[in-house]
Amino acid sequence: MNREHIIPPKVYLLVFAALVVGTLAMVAAARVELGPLNIVVAMTLAALQATLVALYFMRLRYSHRLNWIFAGASILWLLLLIGMVLTDVISRLSE
């Protein structure tokens, strides 16, 4: 039995509007000098946008829990790789 959840077009339009606003916020944040917080703001906005895309356009919100496990595992893998790269960069900066 295929029980696919139907998302109304209004939700897609709202998510699209949120993505556009997020993009405009990212452009505005890039024009403001925040020092080391620039990367934090940019990565936070990018993570929020990626979450919206995964939840609605990739239909993860209403998918099987196994898909959630694979999505979570991929995020953990990405964080592990970023952590390893940062460890290497920080060790090279201290030399």
- Which residues lie closer than 8 Å to 68 by C-beta, 6 or more apart? 60
Beta-strand ranges (E) seen in 7-82 are none
In residues, how long is the chain?
Answer: 95
Looking up tokens 């949120």 gives 18
pLDDT of residue 5: 80
State whether 31 and 56 are in the same domain.
yes
Residues 20-39: pLDDT tens digits?
A: 999 999 999 999 999 989 98
Residues 73-95: pLDDT tens digits?
A: 999 999 999 999 999 999 998 87
Structure tokens at 27: 């452009």
Domain count for the chain: 2
State whether 3 and 47 are in the same domain.
yes
Which structural domain, as residue segments, surrounds residue 75? 64-95
* CA-based nearest residue to 23, from 49, 51, 54: 49
State whether 17 and 50 are in the same domain.
yes
Q: Which amino acid would we find at residue 47?
A: A
- The distance of Cα 29 from the centroid of its chain, to the nearest Å, equals 17
